[in-house]
Amino acid sequence: MEGKKVTLRDLALKAGLSVNTISRALKDKEDIALSTRKTIKDLAKEMGYVGNALAGSLRSGLTKTIAVIVSDVANPHFGIMVKDIEKSARKHNYTIFVINTEDEHEMEERAIYTAIGKNVDGIIICPSQRSAETIRILKKNGVPFVLIGRRFEEEPDFDYVICDDEKGGYLATKHLLDNGHKRVLFLNGPDRISSARERLDGYRRAHREAGLPVSGELIIEVGASAGDTRQIVKGLIERKADFTGLFAFNDVIAWEAAYVLQKYGFRVPEDYAVVGFDNIQSRLFIPFQLSSVSNSKGKMSKRAVDIVLHKINHPDSRERFREVIDTTLILRESTK
């Protein structure tokens, strides 16, 4: 037979103390002797007592939870970012829960309504950017939130933390051009995404500085579905497309592209030089050493938590946050 949930009254009976004393000891109130607090905490642990977070939130008005909404948690970039957000939130005694949207508008809308329904104190979201309407739901409901990784330029009231995508696109493309690759293929993300547009701006700037024309046939939008990159690169190889450098919107696309190139017998970097974006290999050690743009996921994550906590704790503040974290190019074997 299963036991029933342990209550404060159960602890009080076992300890021979009042419920109020037990409650104050578990909250570390200084009017309870340190030795008594330790004894009661040890007893609570022994008996399996779990505090009622809902009751506490009703008293304080806070649930001490933050929803983190991302487009694809299977992408190591988002997995690393979520871990960094959780680590930073934990230092402030906050718990996070993660909702995956598959980069779909309807799932994003459902995720936002779910988070609001759970009475979270705040939301950190990487928006799909299919529409700003879903984010406006947060504004209408007064939920503190911050965008991470992407921004709506036309929405000045949407706070964000992003990396310098334009600079990242510029550095990656310039490196390839400087190393003799006069035709650089750019496998970009969907145009609706701000970071894709800004990385394309950097790609174009590098070409302008080098005095080279930008060829529209070398800028290809890659879908989010698994296998899209493989099909695109396979088609390019089969029709003998003219390029020797490849810059990818993210590391996952870059890895897929390199896989196809090598499957067809080409060598990286001898035949094709490849650069990704996200620098996932700063955390994951993978045999294929990919040159990549670092977007400081740790800094972005920490700032996102700091901003959303500021908004939670200062609900009347009119301060706006539009933060751009620097990007750098990390060179590895895929471009040597």
Q: Are residues 220 and 255 in the same domain?
A: yes
Whether residue 307 is found in the same domain as residue 197:
no
The Cα 73–Cα 100 span in angstroms is 6
Both tokens assigned to 276: 């990704």
Residues 173, 231 within the same domain = yes
77-108 residues labelled b (16+ CB within 10 A) or e (exposed): bbbbbbebbbebbeeeebebebbbbebeeebb
pLDDT tens-place values along the chain, 336 residues long: 345 778 889 999 999 999 999 989 988 899 999 999 999 999 988 888 877 655 555 455 688 999 999 998 888 999 999 999 999 999 999 999 999 998 899 999 999 999 999 989 999 999 999 999 999 999 888 899 999 999 999 998 899 999 999 999 999 999 999 999 999 999 999 999 999 999 999 999 999 999 999 999 999 999 866 678 999 999 999 999 999 999 999 999 999 999 999 999 999 999 999 999 999 998 888 888 999 999 989 999 999 999 999 999 999 898 999 999 999 999 999 997
Q: Which two tokens stand for residue 134?
A: 């879903």
Residue 56 lies in a domain: no
What is d(CA 196, CA 249) in angstroms, rounded to the nearest whole number? 7
Residues 316 and 262 in one domain: no
- Host domain of residue 308: 63-163+297-324
> Tokens for 102?
């598959």
* Structural domain contains residue 3: no
Other Cβ atoms within 10 Å of 169 Cβ, number: 30
Q: Let me know whether 247 and 142 are in one domain.
A: no
Residues 6+ apart with CB under 8 A from 19: 8, 9, 12
Q: What is the CATH number of the domain that holds 143?
A: 3.40.50.2300
Residue with tokens 């939301």: 123
| C-alpha dihedral (263, 268, 273, 276), degrees to nearest 10 | 70
Q: What is the DSSP letter of 280?
A: G
pTM comes to 0.83
Pairing assessment for the beta strands 328-330 and 291-294 based on DSSP bridges: antiparallel
Q: How many domains does the chain have?
A: 3
250 and 152 within one domain: no
Burial label for 211, CB within 10 Å (0-12, 13-18, 19+), is: exposed
CB-facing half-sphere around the CA of 308: CA atoms within 13 A: 31
Any domain includes 2: no
Token pair belonging to 306: 């700091």
